[in-house]
Every structure is written in structure tokens, then in C-alpha cells.
Amino acid sequence: MIEEKIIKKNRLNAMLQELSKEYSIYIPAGENGDFRFCELRDTNDELVFWDYRNTRISPKEILFPHSEILYEFSRDESHQFSISQNNDDQRKMKNVILGIRPCDARAIGFLDRVFIGEPNERFVDPYYLKRRIHTIIISLACNRPQISCFCTSLNGRPDGEEGADIIAFDIGEEILLKTVTEKGKEFIKESSKWLGNVKKSDIDKKNKIFKESAKRINSRVSVEKVKEKLDDSFEADFWNEIHRKCLGCGICTFLCSTCHCFDITDETSADRGKRIKCWDSCMYPLFTLHASGHNPRPNYKERMRQRIMHKFNYCPENFKELFCVGCGRCIRNCPVNLDIREVINQVSQLK
């Protein structure tokens, strides 16, 4: 059964102060004129993120870090090797991500399919799984979507619930909390002393705000049959055009909330070393470089094609989802103004 509760904004700090004894709490915090998800350290500080638009870097980095040590190894004087696993000792076991936007919460649901999969899947990332099962996601519905947002073209909404355990609605001086999962219900139960009952006027205010919010998303793309169009377009002429402005900087993939490519490298010295997992990008020339020296994607054209095919053809084939949530980060931050909406619309017009 869905539960809805209310909390006044001026009581939230006290609630988080109590929760921080048990949880690592991540919120969008101001950083160099922008916002980024950071662990809440001082719960006496006033929370000021309720009206933020979105972070530049996706909060996926909490569950899927830029880089992490998988294990370290060393050799003693008798040349015997020993291995120590990464136990994440610096973090509390349980996490709360508070204030993630619905598009990013939905994206985490996509990453779950990649790194965890169905219960009987053979390949599970234990590092991601450990963080994921101990993390509660409280998304924050969008009162003011940005001009580059196009989530509604991809089955999303400014108040979408997918991927969240609880969704929060800013309705002025109060926050309305609505449970989505059993994990969310349990969290609400644990925090009940800080929460009040929702009135009909609160529901009406919330519904009015988000009816207007949905109307503000004017950007539209046509994704109908995009996968089918790409099935027959691997050698289409338009690949020769769309990559021409690309610098290969990779910012579109590093900021994307659904991109999940990574590399694994070893850093070693004479008698010790560590194995490191770090983000990678299909837009980089070394991404598919073979040990033989052959590179099947030597140019911008092949790498741009891989990025588009992965999101709109390969992932729909493997996961039954377009791996784009319409957050608009790649549009806002591309240094040469490549717009994925224009690319999708060009694909939709292919014969």
C-alpha cells in the first residue's frame, strides 16, 4: 500500500542529523557555481538544494564510482603473494541518496540491469551490488524542468517514480513524501516521528505543481521505431555527417547517467600492486584498440556510431529499453553543441 507523508523543510536537518548516525547521506551540494552529489558532513548547515535544476555529473558515481580499487596484492620476501579485497571500510554500510532527479533515478534502474541483471543472471558486479542493496533512493520531482530536458519523449515524467524507493515533492514550505517500494515504506516507518499526515490540500497542491511542470517540457523527439531504423542503417550515409563537429572529448559519455563502460588496469611496483576499475568512453580512440595494434573504430565516425547504436539499438536488443532518459546533460555540456535530439530525429527519418 502506498504511503504519503509530509515533513516541514525546517525539520529536515534534525531528521538527517539523526539518520546520519546510521546512514551515509548524499545530497546535491553547491560546488564552484554548480551542484554535485556529496556526502552530507555538517547537518547543521541549511539545506538549499530544493530549487536546483540538476547536477552536471550524474549521481550514478555514488554506486558506480569514477575509479575504485578492486583489490591490492603484494609479495613477501619468500615470493609468496597475498591479496586484500576492497571492503569499502571508509563508508557506512547503508546509504541514502536524497534529491536525485527522476530521470537519474530511472537511469539507476537501467544500470541495475547491466550490473545486477535478473536473479538468475550469471554475471553480477559484486561491488555495485553491495552498494545498491544498501542504498535508499529518495528522488525529488522536478518543479522547473530545463529547456534541454526531453524525458517525456522517453517514457519519463518530471514526477516519474521508476528507480526510486521514495519520491519527494517540493510544495513550498513542506516536502511531501510518497513511498514507491517496500524499502521506502520501511524507511518512512523508521522516520515516522519526523513526519506528519498528508492533507487533501497537500495532494491538490502537488498535483497542480506537476501538471504545470509537465507542460514546461516542450522539447520532443520521435523514438518510435528508432531501433528498427538503426537495424538497417549501419552503413547509412548520415554517419558521415553527424560526427564532423565531434572533438572526441568524451564529455557526453562521462556525464551521461546511463553510460556504464569501464576499464580495468593494474598499477604495480616491484613487490606490490593494485587492480583498479575506472570509467571509460567509447568516444576515445584507445577504447577498442587491440593488442595487435588493430582498431576497429579508428575514426570519429565509427565511435559516434557506436555511441548512438549502443543506446538506441544494442541496449533495446539486450535490455528492452532505450538507454537514454532525456536528462539533457550531453546537450547542455557539449563544447561543439552536438545535440542528441537532432541525431534521434535524423534516425527517425531514415528510409
Predicted local distance difference test score (pLDDT) of residue 69:
92
Residue 267 in domain: no
Residue 170 in domain: yes
Residues 102 and 251 in one domain: no
Residue 332 in domain: yes
What backbone torsions phi and psi does residue 111 show, to the nearest 5 degrees?
A: -65, -30
> Residue 55 and residue 152: Cα distance in Å, rounded?
19
The C-alpha cell that represents 100 in the structure block: 536525485
The pLDDT of 81-87, averaged and rounded, is 72
Predicted local distance difference test score (pLDDT) of residue 149:
96
Predicted local distance difference test score (pLDDT) of residue 282:
95
Instruction: Return the percentage of the chain with pLDDT > 70, whole number.
Output: 95
Residue 79 in domain: no
Residue 202 in domain: yes
Residues 255 and 204 in one domain: no
Least confident of 17-26, 38-47, 250-259, 323-332: 38-47
Residue 78 in domain: no
The pLDDT of 41-45, averaged and rounded, is 68
Predicted local distance difference test score (pLDDT) of residue 249:
94
Predicted local distance difference test score (pLDDT) of residue 96:
96
| Residue numbers of the domain that contains 322 | 226-260+282-348
The pLDDT of 206-212, averaged and rounded, is 92
The pLDDT of 315-335, averaged and rounded, is 95
Residues 147 and 236 in one domain: no
Whether pLDDT at 4 is above 90: yes
Buried/exposed 323-338: b ≥16 CB within 10 Å, e otherwise: bbbbbbbbbbebeeeb
Is residue 195 very low, low, confident or very high in pLDDT (cuts 50, 70, 90)? Answer: very high
Predicted local distance difference test score (pLDDT) of residue 51:
80
**The domain boundary residue, chosen from 185, 215, 245:** 215
Residues 190 and 256 in one domain: no
Residue 72 in domain: no
Residues 177 and 121 in one domain: yes
**The domain boundary residue, chosen from 188, 215, 242:** 215
The C-alpha cell that represents 205 in the structure block: 497542491
Predicted local distance difference test score (pLDDT) of residue 92:
59
Whether pLDDT at 107 is above 60: yes
Residue 136's closest CA among 167, 157, 174, 115?
167
Residues 185 and 250 in one domain: no
**The domain boundary residue, chosen from 159, 186, 215:** 215
The pLDDT of 225-235, averaged and rounded, is 93
Residues 23 and 162 in one domain: yes
Residues 93 and 35 in one domain: yes
Whether pLDDT at 89 is above 60: no
Mapping DSSP onto H, E and C, the string for the chain reads CCCEEEEEHHHHHHHHHHHCCCEEEEEEEEECCEEEEEECCCCCCCCCCCCCCCCCCCHHHHCCCCEEEEEEEEECCCCCEEEEECCCCCCCCEEEEEEECHHHHHHHHHHHHHHCCCCCCCCCCHHHHHHHHCEEEEEECCCCCCCCCCHHHHCCCCCCCCCCCEEEEECCCEEEEEECCHHHHHHHHHCHHHCEECCHHHHHHHHHHHHHHHHCCCCCCCCCCHHHHHHCCCCCCCHHHHCCCCCCCCHHHHHCCCCCCEEEEEEECCCEEEEEEEECCCCCCCCCCCCCCCCCCCCHHHHHHHHHHHHHHHHHHHHCCCCCCCCCHHHHHCCCCCCHHHHHHHHHCCC
Predicted local distance difference test score (pLDDT) of residue 84:
77
Convert the pLDDT of each residue in 263-290 to its tens digit. 999 998 878 899 999 999 999 999 999 9
Predicted local distance difference test score (pLDDT) of residue 87:
60
**Antiparallel, parallel or unpaired: β 23-31 and 94-100:** parallel
Residues 181 and 120 in one domain: yes
The more confident residue out of 310 and 118 is 310
The pLDDT of 126-150, averaged and rounded, is 94
Q: What is the mean pLDDT of the chain?
A: 90
* pTM reported for the whole predicted model: 0.91
Residue 163 in domain: yes
Give the sign of the dihedral formed by CA 332, CA 338, CA 340, CA 344: positive
Residues 16 and 135 in one domain: yes
Task: Please tell me the total count of domains within the chain.
Answer: 2
Residue 18's closest CA among 93, 96, 89, 90?
96
Predicted local distance difference test score (pLDDT) of residue 76:
77
The pLDDT of 121-135, averaged and rounded, is 89
Predicted local distance difference test score (pLDDT) of residue 120:
57
Residues 209 and 337 in one domain: no
Residues 193 and 339 in one domain: no
